Chains A and B, each alone.
Chain A
Amino acid sequence: MRIVVAEDLYLLRDGLVRLVEAYGHEVVATATTGPETVEALLKWRPDVAVVDVRMPPGQSDEGLRAALDARREVPGLPVLILSQHVEQLYARELLADGTGGVGYLLKESVFDADQFIDALERVAAGGTAMDPAVIAKLLSSGSSTRRLGRLTEREHSVLRLMAEGLSNQAIGRRLFLSESAISKYTTSLFGKLGITDDDDSNRRVLAVLTYLNASSAP
């Protein structure tokens, strides 16, 4: 994969570059400020970009805004946002266009390199990778709780893992269940929530996230 890395701290940028290169991917450009990030994203059109939220010049949310701007130009441009903290608000903004190819993880998710690269590849393929903490908050916020009250406990945990971006196979492995059992749960929970099931797992996950995102905008 051709990757753009946007991170202002040298140590982290260097570490990220080495990590993805160790897995056989190519870093085509690095960026250290918000404007540089937009430029690199639009110039290189990478397979996926890893972007830090807080970057110069303002040390506020330049990275996030750069990613959102670039995705407005190129819908669905795959971006994985890394941050020291995760906010539902930002997750909702990233998911709002409904085109997929977004990830939003805590920086320490790189501790587990295999899982991190897995998430990166998922995002590159148009899927999603959401931090469990964000998903937990999305599921428990305001009216979500009421609307999800009809789900059984099992269905709830399947939904949670699916929202994080995992495939049926991966969910099955986490819950120690067979893939066919998982697809049975997904069918029933989709029925309860009134979402059309889709064969493409990426599009299906997106449907779930869009559903959660719409449930309680403040």
Chain B
Amino acid sequence: MMRQWWADARMGFARACVVAGVVMLVPAVWAVAVALWLWWGGSPWTWIAPFAWAAIGTFALSRPVCRMTRSLVEKWTGAVIPPGYRQAAPITQMATGYWWNGFSYERTRRDALMDQRMRLRWRDPAVWRDLRFTMIAPLTAGVAAAVPPAGLVAAVLGFATSSPLVGVLGLVVAVVAAPYAWRPAVPVAVRLLRPTPAMALADRVDELTSQRADATVAQAAEIRRIERDLHDGAQARLVALGLSLATAEKLMQTDPDRARALLRDARAGAATSLNELRELVRGINPPVLTERGLVDAVRAFALDSPLETTVSADGRLRLEPPIESAVYFGVAELMTNAVKHAHATRARISIAGDETGVVVEVEDDGRGGAGVRAGGGLDGLRRRLAVFDGTLEVTSPEGGPTRVRMVVPCESL
């Protein structure tokens, strides 16, 4: 009990010193500036240089101070505070020859880079949040954390100047406050260092904008594909069908044998177009999905797959149609990958869901090595799931097995 308390006190003392050291960096800069000004005689005009120096120091130190605080809090309590800084977009040259850095067009790559750095450093709302923290933290967390070291200093000074009352008092304060003094830093950091609502909103807008672009592109491509398939397939065949029937009608009297042959061809043509239409429909929305929902549609897919597949699922699960469709085509793509790329022989699909969302896992015994690569199939799948705030996790070591997990929350609709 006692020993535990001592350990807490020692650890707390060390942490309080660290917190005080970090959050008091900026006030220290100001203290030095004020000291310089006083040392130079406190005349009305000598304050400018130290003040400018302190201001620059504050700006320069605010981000490192915040980063350190964030990592300390994470290390000590496990609480992760998302930093929310703007990320540098890749700098690309446009067809016009100008360079785009995510914010503006510049004539040269160097200008674009400098402009981007400038904007990331100064126009980021995170800068103001960090500054606010560096102002408030010393007055709250800083003061609290400074108590144990201050007590220790008072004790040392007290004993050195032979005023034992002050020394004992300082020692008691240092020891009693040690286990608790660093703790106020946690709520202060959590409250002031997380992205502000405006920043979170801006991020969300960025995310939604890119998702909308993806969705629009995918939809347009899909409609083009359907149009092309109908135009070259069923439509053309129906024209041929009409032609055969017209000719057969003409030949009915004069050459019944040829007419009969033409009618047979027409029937075969009708069957072929039906087949094509069926495949097309399956690609747009598999009929089983409409008729039975996700679980049975996946079962039907598994039955038709060349892999030996087990499906475990709760049969009563019904989701919103767009989610069912996205998840179904996700499973279909993963199973196709398992056959084509992983050369698997067995697969296991599990579908679990409740009011909060659906979790689908697809596992195969193939050779593995799959990953989400920009522009690849899995990346496309990830984007399609992202539209529903869904996520895709791929575990696929070289040599297999591959396990993919899709999670789609249901409140997104």
- Name A's B-contacting residues (CB within 8 A): 53-54, 59-61, 64, 84-85, 87-89, 92, 106-108, 111-112, 137, 140-143, 216, 218
Contacts and interface: CB of A to CB of B under 8 A. Distances in A.
Contact of A111 (B270, B300, B303, B310): B270
A59 B290 contact: yes
B287 A84 contact: yes
A60 B267 contact: no
Nearest to A143: B308
B306 A108 contact: no
Nearest to A93: B296
For the residues of B in contact with A, the DSSP-based class is helix
Given A61-B292, A84-B278, A218-B309, A54 B303 contact: no
A143 B274 CA distance: 31
A59 B288 CA distance: 11
A61 B291 CA distance: 5
4 closest cross-chain pairs (CB), A and B:
A61-B291, A89-B300, A88-B303, A142-B308
Given A64-B291, A107-B274, A111-B270, 7 more contacts: A61-B291, A84-B287, A85-B287, A108-B274, A218-B302, A218-B309, A218-B311
Nearest to B282: A85
B299 interface: yes
Nearest to B279: A85
B271 interface: yes
A70 to B, nearest CB: 18
Contacts of A108: 270-271, 274
Indicate the size class of the contact surface on chain B: 20 to 34
13 contacts: A54-B287, A59-B290, A85-B281, A85-B282, A87-B288, A87-B300, A87-B303, A88-B304, A89-B288, A89-B292, A108-B270, A111-B267, A218-B303
Contacts, number: 63
B307 interface: yes
A137 B304 contact: yes
A194 to B, nearest CB: 21
Interface of B: 267, 270-271, 274, 278, 281-282, 287-288, 290-292, 296, 299-300, 302-311
B304 to A, nearest CB: 6
Contact of B299 (A53, A60, A143, A218): A218
A160 to B, nearest CB: 17
Given A59-B290, A216-B308, A85 B296 contact: no
A101 B308 CA distance: 30
B278 A85 contact: yes
A160 B204 CA distance: 57
Contact of B307 (A106, A137, A142): A142
Contacts of B304: 88, 137, 141
B312 to A, nearest CB: 9
B308 A60 contact: no
Of B282, B288, B291, B303, most buried by chain A (CB within 10 Å of CB) is B291
A111 B302 contact: no
Contacts of A87: 287-288, 300, 303
Contacts of B290: 54, 59-60
Contacts of A137: 303-304
A142 B299 CA distance: 13
A27 B161 CA distance: 117
Nearest to A64: B291
Contacts of A142: 303, 305, 307-309
A60 B291 contact: yes
Contacts of B288: 85, 87, 89
A61 B42 CA distance: 90
B130 to A, nearest CB: 55
Nearest to B298: A218
Contacts of A106: 274
A92 B274 CA distance: 24
A61 to B, nearest CB: 4
A88 B296 CA distance: 11
Contacts of A89: 288, 292, 296, 299-300, 303
Which of B270, B288, B307 gathers most chain A CB within 10 Å? B288
A198 to B, nearest CB: 27
Nearest to A58: B291
A87 B303 CA distance: 9
A33 to B, nearest CB: 15
Contact of B292 (A60, A112, A140, A141): A60
Contacts of B281: 84-85
Nearest to A91: B303
Nearest to A145: B306
A49 to B, nearest CB: 19
